[in-house]
Amino acid sequence: MKDFFKSVLASAVGTFFAGMLVCFLLVVLIVAGISTTNHAPDSSTVAIKPKTMLVIGNDLTVNDTPANGTPGLSVLLGNSTGPEVDLLRALEAIDLAAKDRNISGILLSGELIAGAVQKAELRKAIAGFKTSGKPVIAWIENSSQGQYFMATAADKIYMHPAGDLEFKGLASYHMYYGDTLKLAGVGVQVTKVGKYKSAVEPYLGATMSEPAREQSELLMSSIWSRIVKDISASRKLSEATLRAAANSAGEFNAATALKLKLVDGILQRDELVKAVRKAGAADDESGTSFRQVSLGRYAGKVNFPKGSGKIAIVYAEGEIVDGWGSPEDIGGDRLARDLRMVRGDERYKAVVLRVNSPGGSAFASDVVAREVSLLREKGLPVVISMGDVAASGGYYIAAKGSYIMADPSTITGSIGVFGLHFNYEELAKKVSLGTDGVKTGRYADLLASHRAATPEELAIVQKMVDGVYEDFLQVVAEGRKLKRDDVHEIAQGRVWSGRDALGIKLVDKFGGLRDAIKEAATRATLTQAEWVQIPALNSGRESLLQKILSDAHDENPMFAKASADRDPVLQFLKAHADTLKSIRALNDPKGVYLTCPLILRKQ
């Protein structure tokens, strides 16, 4: 019945926004599957000639998990797979480029599809590259705010005279389906703990609650302040000047961007080519461009260090679901298996658990958290590295780590629980669908989807939700060495930025993925450690829907096409994909979830 209801709910949402035809297409595409296997480049095939410019951007997707994340191009729209690279390999590649005598500099050109925290780590690596004395140049044609944030890491930013630059601040909006579901005859009943636990609100009404608005405003303000601060330091502009610029228009043509000192110069493409050649790049074979290599390809030269002891870098990226899961989410059983494998191998001396998850299934989260505890009991340091979001179930699996590192912009906390029960009772009446049967016990049909739960049944579920919340508080209290009541004060489902989480002891220190690896090596007293990424490759199945909703990317040309994020058709499809993926992730065996309501999309 659970799977039947998901189909009904997906159809109701799709009907409201796109009509039955689009809904039918999306549901069919979810069911359809295509097997794809991604492989890291072979370092032996990456030959770099002298005076080559390293190009970062051109719609390259950076994921935490190696070879896992947004697939390249749409099958139905006639495109092919785009470039991807994992964060650790990208960071190491930038360091390698600083020492490589054949790399003359870096050009930041086109969109880099990554999360805010990933971009902050890449900017830090680029800052380290600049100490080599090699130039870093940025080129803007029509940039998103995310592209401009990356561009500000450069020594010089040049802009096309007919282009535009986006710098406008952050916004977080959700679609609310509550009234739509009521019209469709779909009933939604919620049990929860925590006044800030707002992940269920889209299914209940048409607007956000005041607690949800409060925490959203505080979180967005914290992350925006960090972005402005970083750009201020790079561009040598005051934060007040930058805020005033963002509030003055949000979109700027080249002349205005130059006047506001957001860029350093205005160049046509051919003029940029000359500037890059002057910076040290050789002519390409055609004589019309310059010698270059993309970051995605150059990362194939990276060889991780070897040593007597191994550090396992285990990735938890995506929503947490019960069972094995798919390549794009965290199957609780699969991640627990990975951690158990590390625990059983004596060659591993430490673990880095990279968490980039808004949470999900309460049961699956508990299964994973148990394995983290067992690693600690064996004496292995478990250092948590938080990405863009490590909240609710994402925080649950992190709480018992030896040490927690986050970025100031990480979304974390959200210590709260909710239960969600959907039913199609009213919908069945509308379409004259009858349901009848027998049962042998009073609660044999508890939470059956063909009818609304009674107040007595909801009380039973509420008791269960309360119990999960108490377990959550206990997990955090034990892991963070805090009192239960102190955890309760900062819990209530409230979301915190990494900056604020440090002050309330939910995290120990600011730092990125490589900082966490160093911390793990120190705690394991390893002077030279071997890095092992788990999973190293993703050979799972990828649905046809995933491929259709992916961006179109072209790795080779320096001047890549505008990001598909600006394509209204793909924007429309992606909006519904997020909804459908969230619905599919609701597979907890008890219907109890640890899910964060706020996620910043990669851009």
- Return the minimum-mean-pLDDT range out of 7-16, 356-365, 371-380, 540-549: 540-549
**364, part of any domain:** yes
Across 291-318, average pLDDT: 94
197 belongs to the catalytic site: yes
Confidence band of 444 (pLDDT split at 50, 70, 90): very high
Q: How many domains does the chain have?
A: 2
Q: Both 326 and 452 in a single domain?
A: yes
**CA 573 vs CA 14, 18, 122, 564, 577: distances in Å:** 10, 9, 29, 12, 6
**34, part of any domain:** no
- Residue of higher predicted confidence among 33 and 108: 108
**384, part of any domain:** yes
Residue 494, pLDDT > 80, answer: yes
**Residue 489 CB: number of other CB atoms within 10 A?**
12
Q: Both 292 and 401 in a single domain?
A: no
**33, part of any domain:** no
* Domain with 201 in it: 171-236+308-433+446-527+586-597
Q: Both 69 and 178 in a single domain?
A: no
pLDDT one-digit tens code per residue, 502-536 = 999 999 999 999 999 999 999 999 999 999 999 87
The DSSP code for 402 is: S
The answer to whether 378 and 351 are in contact (CB under 8 A) is no
Residue 537, pLDDT > 80, answer: no
Across 475-485, average pLDDT: 96
Q: Both 355 and 327 in a single domain?
A: yes
563 belongs to the catalytic site: no
pLDDT one-digit tens code per residue, 370-429 = 999 999 999 999 999 999 999 999 999 999 999 999 999 999 999 999 888 899 999 999
Q: Both 162 and 181 in a single domain?
A: no
**458, part of any domain:** yes
Dihedral angle sign, alpha carbons of residues 418, 424, 425, 426: positive
- Residue of higher predicted confidence among 601 and 185: 185
**571, part of any domain:** no
- Return the minimum-mean-pLDDT range out of 169-183, 320-334, 557-571: 557-571
Confidence band of 194 (pLDDT split at 50, 70, 90): confident
Q: Both 273 and 138 in a single domain?
A: yes
Confidence band of 172 (pLDDT split at 50, 70, 90): confident
Residue 188, pLDDT > 70, answer: yes
**Strand-strand pairing, 417-423 and 187-193:** antiparallel
pLDDT at 559: 44
pLDDT at 319: 93
Q: Both 523 and 547 in a single domain?
A: no
pLDDT one-digit tens code per residue, 54-113 = 999 999 999 999 855 333 333 233 333 468 999 999 999 999 999 999 999 999 999 999
Catalytic residue among 6, 192, 197, 301: 197
pLDDT at 471: 95
Q: Both 188 and 147 in a single domain?
A: no
- Return the minimum-mean-pLDDT range out of 155-169, 381-395, 441-455: 441-455
**244, part of any domain:** no
**121, part of any domain:** yes
Using CA atoms, how far apart are residues 481 and 487, in angstroms rounded to an integer? 10
Residue 602, pLDDT > 70, answer: no
Tokens of 466: 């309360």
Confidence band of 340 (pLDDT split at 50, 70, 90): very high
pLDDT one-digit tens code per residue, 4-32 = 444 444 544 444 444 444 443 444 343 33
**Residue 370 CB: number of other CB atoms within 10 A?**
16
In a 13 Å sphere around the CA of 418, the CA atoms on its Cβ side amount to 26
Q: Both 402 and 428 in a single domain?
A: yes
Q: Both 137 and 258 in a single domain?
A: yes
Catalytic residue among 392, 449, 497, 550: 392
Considering only CA atoms, which of 195, 141, 201, 193 is closest in space to residue 172? 201
Q: Both 94 and 231 in a single domain?
A: no
pLDDT at 31: 38
pLDDT at 576: 55
CATH number of 62's domain: 3.90.226.10
Tokens of 288: 């019309």
When the pLDDT of each residue in the chain is averaged and rounded to a whole number, the result is 85
- Residues near 108 by Cβ (< 8 Å), separated by ≥ 6? 56, 57, 126, 136, 137, 138, 139, 150, 151, 153, 154
Confidence band of 574 (pLDDT split at 50, 70, 90): low
Angle between helices 210-235 and 239-248 (to 10 degrees): 120
Q: For the chain, give the percent of residues with pLDDT over 90.
A: 70
Residue 296, pLDDT > 90, answer: yes
| 3 state SS of 155 | coil
pLDDT at 490: 95
pLDDT one-digit tens code per residue, 221-275 = 999 999 999 999 999 999 999 999 999 999 999 999 999 999 999 999 999 999 9
pLDDT at 334: 95
Q: Both 175 and 163 in a single domain?
A: no
Across 138-142, average pLDDT: 96
For the whole model, what pTM was predicted? 0.83
